[in-house]
Amino acid sequence: MIEVAAAIIENEQGHILIARRKQGKSQAGMWEFPGGKVELDETVEACLQRELLEEMNIAIDPYEFFAVNEHNYGIIQIRLIAYKAKYRSGEIQLIDHDQYRWVSKEELNDYQWSPADIPFVERLLVQQ
């Protein structure tokens, strides 16, 4: 099982950053909370800071564990660990994604989500 981290990043307006996987990647065309694979001896928080800097050129502050979801994609099984994070700085530049959006919680249902992220969307929708 591969451990993967996902960041639920909020900006000052309370909107959440989502990103669409680009063609040629697994889950292409689906939306996700950005993140990446946790490396050996790396904390989830450190992974998220590294991945968001590498993949989107932004600095974030992970501040709270959100949830974990295990998902079997057939060939691969992942353990997706989500943390809430605050956007700190940087202008978004996409590497593994072809689009991004800052959306309100109410808009989350308007997007086609990667299956492993769906439980996080559902949880966000029931939170105040």
Superfamily of domain 2-126: Nucleoside Triphosphate Pyrophosphohydrolase (3.90.79.10)
Angle among Cα 108, 109, 112 to the nearest 5 degrees reads: 95
* pLDDT digit string, tens, across residues 96-106: 899 999 999 99
Is residue 20 within 8 Å of residue 99, measured between CB atoms? yes
Q: Which of 55, 49, 58, 54 is nearest to 91 (CA)?
A: 58
pTM of structure: 0.93
Query: How far apart are the C-alpha atoms of 46 and 62, rounded to whole Å?
Result: 9
pLDDT of residue 75: 85
As a whole number, mean pLDDT of residues 100-123 equals 95
Helix residue ranges per DSSP H, the chain: 44-56, 118-126
**What integer pLDDT is reported at residue 54 of this predicted model?**
95
Pairwise CA distance, residues 21 & 24, whole Å: 9
CA angle 102, 107, 64 (to 5 degrees): 60
- The confidence score (pLDDT) of residue 46 equals 97
Instruction: Specify the pLDDT at position 23.
Output: 85
For the beta carbon of residue 61, count every other beta carbon within 10 angstroms: 15
pLDDT at 29: 85
Domain assignments of the chain as residue spans, ordered by start:
2-126
pLDDT of residue 128: 57
> 5-61: per-residue pLDDT in tens?
999 999 999 999 999 999 877 777 899 999 999 999 999 999 999 999 999 999 999
CB–CB of 99/10 below 8 Å?
no
pLDDT of residue 24: 75
- Quick one: DSSP state of residue 45? H
- Give CA separation, 13 vs 20, 33, 66, 78, 106, in Å: 21, 18, 20, 31, 14
